[in-house]
Structure 1
Amino acid sequence: MSVSKKRQVDLKSLGILLQNDKEHFSIRFLSRAGNFTVTELSSLNILAQKYGRGYVGLTTRLQVEIPWIKNEDVEKVMEEAKELGLRHGGTGKKVRALVSCKGSICLHGNIDTQEICRQLEDKYFGTETPSKCKFSVVGCPNNCAKANINDIGVMGKTVPEYQEEKCVGCGLCVKACRQKALTLKDRKIIFDKELCVECGGCVRACNTKGFIAKEVGAEIFVGGRFGRGMRIADSLGKIFKEYEIIPMIDKIMEHYREIGEPGERISATMDRVGKKEFLATVLNKEL
C-alpha cells in the first residue's frame, strides 16, 4: 500500500525516509560527533533485528540508518528508540547532522574536533535555517571530513615558526613535511612558506624546538557545498583560537539567518550579496 504524500513529508522531517519501493522506510539515527556508545550500538541491533532485515547502513555524514521498516511499524520503532535513548532526525531546512573527524585522538589533529563538534551540535543541530545547512570539523589539512565543501567548515591548523638557533640539522622535520616545504642544506633548514599548509607535522617531529607553534587553532570556511551544485568555501582569512571558533560561527549563523532568503543556502546568500561583503560583515559583527 502506498504512503500518502503528507505522511512522507511529516516523517521526513523526523529523519524517517521513504524508500524507493514506496512501502518501507529507513530511519536515521544520530551519532554524537560520529560516535555511538556500545549501548547505543546494541540498541540499534535490537531494532534492526526486530523491525528491519538485520542490518544497518552508515550515511555519508556518520549517522546510522535502519532500512526496511514497515509503514505500520514506524511509530513502534520511534517509541522504542526513545525508550532506548536513541535519537533520530537530520533532514529539512535546518542544521543537518554535524560531522567531525577523529582529530581529537588522531596523530595529525591540531584541535579537539570532537568536543567542538559536540558543542556546535548542542547549540545548532535541528535549528531552523533558510535552507539546509551543513557543518564539518576537521583536525588538520588532510581534510578527511571535507571542511571546505560544507556550509561552515572548521579546519585545525598549527602555524610553524622556524628557530634556526635551535635547529641541529637532523632532518626529521623534512621527512615529516609532506608538502616538501622544507629542505635541508648545510645542516640548516630552508623553509618555503608558500608550500606550507600549516599541518603542524614539523612542530611535532622536532625534538629540539627548531620548529615551534607560532599559532594553534583553526581556519574557518564559509559557503561551501557539494552535490547538484558545487562551491568551494571561502576562508575567513585568519587562525582562530579554539575558544574563538564557536563565537565566530555564532556570528556567521546570525548573519545568515538575518539576510538569507527562503531556500537559499549560505553559498547562494554570499553570491547574491557578494562574498567580500558577507565575510567582512561577519568578521566585524558584534553579538
Structure 2
Amino acid sequence: MKEEYIDILSKEKKSSNPAKNWNNRAKEFYRYTKEAKSNEVLDFLNSKMEFTGKKILDIGCGAGRFLLPFVKAGAHVTGIDIAQDMIYYTEKILLESNIPKDSYELLKADWKDIDLDARRWNSKFDLVFASMSPGVSDWESIEKLVVASKGHVFISSFAYRHESVLLELQNHLESYRENDWGERFRAMINLLLLNGFLPDVKFTRKVGSMEFEVEDLINRYKHRFINSDPTGEKTEELRGLVDKIGSESNYTMYTDRVIGMFLFSVNDKIDKNTK
C-alpha cells in the first residue's frame, strides 16, 4: 500500500531547469510578498504554536512571504531556495523591514542536495516549514523534513487548482498536462498516517482573479510547456498564444484553488507495536 502512494508522489511533473524558472519569477513573488495583507497559513500556525525564540527552517522560502512574518514574531529563521534571485529578494525585503541580520540565515540550495549530517541539522529545528515548495515533492524529501525537525513539520500543497490561462494554453499545446493535485495530496496524507503521524489538516479555497503583464505570464508557464528552446521559436509560439488570450481578457487570469495544509509533531507518533 505504501509503495502505491510513494509512486504517486514520484510522478510529479518537474522542470528541466527549476533554478532558472524560479529566478524568472522572483520579482513577481517579491511583489506578492509586498502586497500580501492576510495569510491563512500563518493564521493556522498561530492557532497551534508560538514562534518566539523558535528555530524555523523555511524550505523554498521564495521572496520571504513567510520568512518575514516568522522573524517579526521572534523566531530565528533559516531560509533556503534553489533560485539565487529569490534569495536576493528575500534579503531585500528583510532589509527594507529593518530586520536584524542575526535573526535569519539565507542559503541558495536545493533541498534534495542538503546534507543534514554535514550541516548538523538533524533534529535542529522547532518547525520545518515547506509551503507550496517544489523541493518537497516526493516521500524521500518529506522524510527528510522529519529528520531535520525536533518539534513540528508543516507542509502545504494544492489539493485542486484551476487557472483559466493555463487551461487555454493546454487547449492549444499538447506538451503539458497538470498534476492530479487531489491524488497527490491524498497520497501524502495516507503516507503520513501509515508512518504513524497524526497531522492537523485544514483546507482553504480561493476563487478570484489575478492581473499579469505578458512577460509574467510567459515566465509563469514557459517551463511547463517548453523543455528546450535553443532558437527561441517555441517561446515565441507561446508568446503568440498568450497575446491572443490577453487580447480578449486583458491578461486577467481567473483562478479557483484549494490548498491543503497539514501540521504534525515528529514526537507524537502512533506506536506500531500497540495492539
Fold shared, TM-score > 0.5 on shorter chain: no
**Greater fraction helix:** 2
Shorter-chain TM band: under 0.3
Query: Which protein shows a greater Rg?
Result: 1
Scaled by the length of structure 1, the TM-score of the pair is: 0.23
Higher relative contact order (CA 8 A, sep 6+): 2
